[in-house]
Amino acid sequence: MTRHPNIFPDLTTPIEHDYITDPSGMAYLREMLSRTWAKLKPPTRLTPSQWADKNRYITYGSQKGPWRTSFVPYIKEPMDRAIEPDVEEESIIAPNQSGKSEFGLCIIGYYAEHRPTDMAVYQPTADLAKKFANDKIDPLIMDTPSLLAIFGTVKSRDKKTKTLERRFLGNHLFILGANTKAAFRQLWAEVIMKDDYDAWPAEIKGEGDPGKLADARAESFPHTKKIINISTTTKDGESRIQRKFMDSSMAFYHIKCPHCGMWQVLLFSDRSVFADMVPHGRLVYDTENGLEPRWAYYECGNSQCANRIIEEWRKPGLIRGGKWIHLHPERRKHLGYQWNRLVSPFSGWQNIAAEFLAAQGDRDALQTFVNLTLAEWFTAQRVQSIDPTGLSERIEKDREAKVYEEVPPQVRSRMVRVNHRYSVPMAGFVIVISVDVQDDRLEAKVKAWGLNEESFLIKKVVLRGSPARMETWNKLDELLDEEFYHAAGFTLRPRITTIDIQGHYTDQVYAWILRKRASQRNVLGIQGRGNTETTTRMVADKIHTNNKLKVPVILVGVDTAKEIIYSRLVDYDQTRAQMHFCDDLGSEGSEVVADYFKQLTAEEQAKVLNRRTGRTRSEWRLRKGHKRNEALDLEVYNLAGFHALNLNMKLEHKKFLQRIAETKEMESAPVQQTKPTRPRRTGGDPFTDGYQP
């Protein structure tokens, strides 16, 4: 039977197709295979510095643009070694404006992308934690595409934003304040970052050391935990980061002299606290041009170097070629790093020298320079006590220097509200009154404040009478209504009045504060706290109304305030914040001056061992033979009141000078004589009714 050709075609002949292969389909297939392989292949392992160079982009500050680790090469090793398996803790001592904050952000970004885990970043206070989250963490996420894909867009109304928590890939990034108990409860993290560690409170009341509480959050990760401490320093013996660094490997960044090849650390001078630990030279600068040196260079520490001068234009190359050398390399679990602003690309050597020259004669400014620029702890002699007998000589010195001038008699007779002996000196222009409440009297101190916190005692008064009686408070009202005559020829009114609310007649004090505030007077209560009880070391913290009558109260760090006061008493000739005294002390008797200074120096600072924590702390207590310290308390309240004003003193001084100029113009302006007018008749008899003008 013959097969039909349409049904049984010849299979030996090739079949011709009526279509052609679409090349776009093959391209799509190749693209899909490439994407699939990209998803399946393991990610490229990067170090934190490599991750930062690849992903980070800075949109704030002076160095905007792609991140370059080579610009701050001293950060590379601390970043990369932080992820090593045998490293459990790192302690970083760094100055301000040198990249220490960016170091922490790079660590956070690296762990989020390459080693996702729970992280906790602690700031000194809850307010600073919120600021850090909004100003640092959110820009880090939004400006880094790889992190944005992990975290997602952060919305301003997101609940996680309010609770300072960022979630990613099933993990948490907590941003917390170290001043609250809740920050250390029901929380765990493999990476603990303690930022600005020296500004943390000394103790959380009822809980203990916040540093140890934070470390305990990582106890469930015994083999992989990472604890990173970052901070500038404070005083010797009180600095948290100092103790951590001394227990670490203690690494310093060394540069190589371009002339002799000696490796050395860029230290400011031979008086550095690290001078005996590492080879170093010193900074040499112009001292003949006042506070603006015209040149500065570094002197090599090798006395045999033929050309010891290292010019600043060599610094970028020297820093890029530098290296870290650990004094204790055997301490592998705890690495420590320290650098100062001499190696920072953000600071010039001439500017650093100018900062040091500007700080001369001011102990507080010198400490700021040592802590924030040199990244060293400030070593100062602890004030145990002050001999009050020599302080009365300050009155004679001020009298010889004509700091004070007596109020002219005609002014006191003409102006009823001028009831003080001495005029406010020309350098003082802000009046602050402080009040202390005792069982049988009120004591008040009036001071004038000027630039650089220079202060002048105007008068001290003792208002006899029980605070339970209204007559006593009326006397205080008269003091607040007083107008203080200034040497420039006009009067000043008090800018603020502070009064102690603790201990004596609290209800009467609250009632008086409310009454004075109702009459538009700036009166605030004072609530003192020691450094072990406060969440801040500031002299005056924020004003709060946590009482039943909603009276505004300042929380005052009395320990910090007393340290400032005693340092100014001791370094009277070495600080621009000088304290001047007069003899208008408001009491009778020839012993009033001696008694005042005895009260002002009635306390001493002593070290006390806390047996529960094993740490020593400073504590202020009455000296033997001293029972009264009202003058010191009033000085603390007055300082706190001035700080609570939070004034821009340069702007206030400018306004004050303008007022002086206007007063002089008014006094020098000629008096215009008005033409006398002829009396006009009223229509009556001039002899009986008279004339009226």
How do residues 485-539 score in pLDDT, each as one tens digit?
999 989 999 999 999 988 778 889 999 999 999 888 999 999 887 755 444 467 8
**Span 354-369, mean pLDDT?**
83
**183-202 tens-digit pLDDT:** 888 888 999 999 999 989 88
Show the domains of the chain with their CATH numbers.
46-250+328-339 (3.40.50.300), 252-325+348-380 (no CATH), 388-667 (3.30.420)
pLDDT at 158 over 70: no
For 470-479, write each residue's pLDDT tens digit.
Answer: 999 999 999 9
pLDDT (average), residues 33-61: 80
Strand partners for 609: 616
Other CB atoms within 10 Å distance of the CB of residue 122: 29
Strands (E), 270-347: 282-285, 296-299, 309-310, 323-326, 334-338
Q: Where are the alpha helices (DSSP H) in 178-334?
A: 210-215, 240-246, 315-320
Q: pLDDT: is 642 or 549 the higher one? A: 642
- Please say whether the beta carbons of 188 and 118 come within 8 A: yes
SS3 143: coil
Is residue 226's pLDDT more than 70? yes
User: Residue 90 half-sphere exposure, CB side, CA atoms within 13 Å?
Assistant: 29
**What would you measure as the largest C-alpha separation in the chain, in angstroms?**
168
Confidence of residue 430 (pLDDT cuts 50, 70, 90): very high
- The pLDDT assigned to 686 comes to 39
Q: Work out the average pLDDT over 607-615.
A: 60
Confidence of residue 291 (pLDDT cuts 50, 70, 90): confident
Residue 159 pLDDT > 60:
no
Q: Report the distance separating Cα 62 and Cα 420, nearest Å.
A: 52
Mean pLDDT along residues 313-318: 93
pLDDT of 42 > 70? The answer is no
For residue 237, which of 95, 375, 379 has the smallest C-alpha distance? 379
Mean pLDDT, range 293-309, rounded to an integer: 91
How far is residue 511 from each of residues 229, 445, 468, 551, 582, measured CA to CA in Å?
A: 47, 21, 11, 9, 33
Strand partners, 608: 617
pLDDT over threshold 50, residue 46: yes
Q: Is the pLDDT of residue 672 over 60?
A: no
Model pLDDT for residues 567-606, shown as the tens digit of each residue: 888 777 667 788 999 888 765 555 788 888 888 888 887 7
Of all helices (H) and strands (E), which one includes residue 26?
helix 23-40
Q: What is the pLDDT of residue 51?
A: 92
pLDDT of residue 685: 43
Contact status, residue 443 vs residue 630, Cβ threshold 8 Å: yes
**Torsion sign (Cα): 94, 99, 101, 102:** negative
Q: What percentage of the chain carries pLDDT values higher than 90?
A: 41
Nearest one of 273, 271, 269 to 236, comparing CA atoms: 273
Q: How far is CA 432 from CA 311, 405, 458, in A?
A: 50, 19, 10
Cβ density class 187-224: b for 16+ within 10 Å, e for less: eebbbbbbbbbbbbbbbbeeeebbbebbbebbeebeee
What is the structure's pLDDT at 611?
57
Interval 363-411: pLDDT, tens: 778 888 999 999 999 876 555 567 777 787 888 888 888 889 989 888 8
Is pLDDT larger for residue 650 or for residue 36?
A: 650
Looking at every residue in the chain, the average pLDDT score rounds to 84
> Which of the residue ranges 476-490, 622-636, 677-691 has the most confident prediction, judged by mean pLDDT?
476-490
In this structure, of 74-78, 318-322, 358-362, 456-460, the range with the lowest mean pLDDT score is 358-362
Local confidence band at 259 (pLDDT 50, 70, 90 cut-offs) = very high
The pLDDT of residue 610 is 61
CA separation (Å) from 98 to 243, 265, 345?
A: 22, 16, 8
Report the distance separating Cα 558 and Cα 620, nearest Å: 9
